[in-house]
């Protein structure tokens, strides 16, 4: 059976809505909408009214593309003050056959989330492995316990929680825009799934996402998130550098970066130029190679800070 999913990502710079269908084990993108964000600063909502207006605009756009009314959505949540806890639990298998079913797997997962603090909200439970017991003795530790015969089923899992106030602030504005929030996903987990490769499943991986005002660094061990942090630095500093050097406003600087910028001088063309105007209306010519040097210098700085943060996250 084909299922359709809609997700909303509210960034400091852009609101993105993705609609896809799931059929025969594969996702297929149906439509994507992007609008500039208003009412968000450094990843936090500062003006509900302005953000709701932009969300409605994005929803109207995506609905016009797919010709279907969006009623339910999945919302990505940034990892501000997120907590990552390795937990253990076990439950008895109560059916007559003593066979582990999908319901038992859900039961044992639910057994490890009962001690969440009142001010925190659960956003993710990732099973690491399961242990089957017979007559009080550990028999086997496996990834998939379904259909195994045992007396008790144990679990080791990573539980991720975020402040409830953060969740409420995002859910409130999305539902005020006219749609129901049915699930949440932590943005670093979505980032990892986007870039995931088979070789990452058995390695320690750091995912760095450079946003407009912030940069997130997240650590994954064998595909499971273990820690995350947010730095108060983003691509805005690149716009400020370009604006200062070429004497333009930030809007023009951003346009130059997005339309003509290259992240590394190695890939830039020394003879190619881009025409624009400074704040006095004077015509300027931006050399691509020189522009790439400006961009690269800041990118290296951001990545070095992120690298040091990754060391802290992994001790």
Mean pLDDT of 167-185: 95
- φ, ψ of residue 213 in degrees (nearest 5): -110, -20
Contacts 24+ apart (CB under 8 A), 32-41: 32/62, 33/58, 33/59, 33/61, 33/62, 33/65, 34/58, 35/61, 37/10, 37/11, 37/12, 37/13, 40/10, 40/11, 40/12, 41/12, 41/213
Mean pLDDT for the chain? Answer: 93
pLDDT tens profile 155-172: 999 999 999 999 999 999
pLDDT tens profile 75-87: 999 999 999 999 9
pLDDT tens profile 230-287: 999 999 999 999 999 999 999 999 999 999 999 999 999 999 999 999 999 999 999 9
pLDDT > 80? residue 26: yes
| CA of residue 191 relative to chain centroid, distance | 5
């Amino acid at each position: 059976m084909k299922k359709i999913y809609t997700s909303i990502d509210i960034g400091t710079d852009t609101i993105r809505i993705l609609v896809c269908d799931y059929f025969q084990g594969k996702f297929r993108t149906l439509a994507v909408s992007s609008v500039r964000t208003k009412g968000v600063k450094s990843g936090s909502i500062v003006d509900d009214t302005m953000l709701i207006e932009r969300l409605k605009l994005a929803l109207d756009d995506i609905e016009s593309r797919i010709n279907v009314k969006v009623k339910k959505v999945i919302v990505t949540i940034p990892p501000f003050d997120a907590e990552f806890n390795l937990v253990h639990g076990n439950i008895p298998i109560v059916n007559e056959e003593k066979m582990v079913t999908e319901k038992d797997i859900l039961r044992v997962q639910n057994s490890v989330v009962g001690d969440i603090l009142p001010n925190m909200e659960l956003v993710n439970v990732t099973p690491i492995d399961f242990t089957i017991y017979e007559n009080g003795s550990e028999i086997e530790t496996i990834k998939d316990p379904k259909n195994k015969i045992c007396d008790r089923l144990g679990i080791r899992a990573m539980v991720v929680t975020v402040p409830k106030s953060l969740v409420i602030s995002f859910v409130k504005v999305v539902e005020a825009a006219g749609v129901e929030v049915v699930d949440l996903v932590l943005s670093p987990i979505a980032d990892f799934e986007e870039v995931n490769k088979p070789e990452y499943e058995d390695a320690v991986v750091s995912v760095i996402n450079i946003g407009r005002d912030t940069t997130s660094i997240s650590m994954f061990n064998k595909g499971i998130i273990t820690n995350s942090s947010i730095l108060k630095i983003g691509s805005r500093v690149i716009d400020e550098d370009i604006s200062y050097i070429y004497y333009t406003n930030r809007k023009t600087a951003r346009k130059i970066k997005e339309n003509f910028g290259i992240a590394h001088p190695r890939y830039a063309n020394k003879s190619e130029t881009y025409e624009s105007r400074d704040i006095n209306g004077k015509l300027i010519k931006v050399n691509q190679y020189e522009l790439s040097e400006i961009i690269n210098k800041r990118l290296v700085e951001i990545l070095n800070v992120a690298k040091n943060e990754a060391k802290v996250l992994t001790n």
